[in-house]
Structure 1
Amino acid sequence: MDTYHVSPTAQGWELKKVGAERAAVRGATKKELVSSLADFFQGKTVSVKIHKADGTFEEERTYPRSADPRRSKG
């Protein structure tokens, strides 16, 4: 399973695969970027680590949701 990070940049927010040099997707706001992830990852199984504006870790999501190894809310 590939891992991606949603992180802040000087120009907004970016989605970057671990080990990649360039961002896969960019967005003006975190909300805008995160809301587009389900469509972007259609047909793929990935883990996304979402960071706060200060760069610290906030949460992890699995796409598709059915691939989440933990059966918990959130």
Structure 2
Amino acid sequence: MMGKDQHVVKRDDGWAVRGENNTKDTSHHATQQEAIDAARKIAKNQESELVIHG
């Protein structure tokens, strides 16, 4: 079973990772690359996709 796709999104104070259809961010990061790295780990673990916005 595949997990939720992970989205990297811009925030006023940096970048965030949010699972598909979640109401809250999973994590916050200072840089886009840090957020991508975190989201990639989650997506790989859940066998889901990584979507980068911005």
Q: How many residues align?
A: 52
Please tell me the residue identity of whatever aligns with 2:20.
V
Structure 2, gaps ≥5 residues long: none
| Cα offset, 1:39, TM superposition | 3.7
Structure 1, gaps ≥5 residues long: 53-74
C-alpha spacing 1:30/1:19, structure 2 compared with 1 (3 Å): same
TM-score (norm 1): 0.57
2:24 corresponds in structure 1 to 22
Asked which structure has the greater RCO (Cα within 8 Å, sep 6+), the reply is: 2
| Cα offset, 1:41, TM superposition | 4.5
1:44 aligns to 2:46 (yes or no) = yes
Larger strand share, 1 or 2: 1
TM-score (norm 2): 0.73
Identity percentage of aligned residues: 19
Larger helix share, 1 or 2: 2
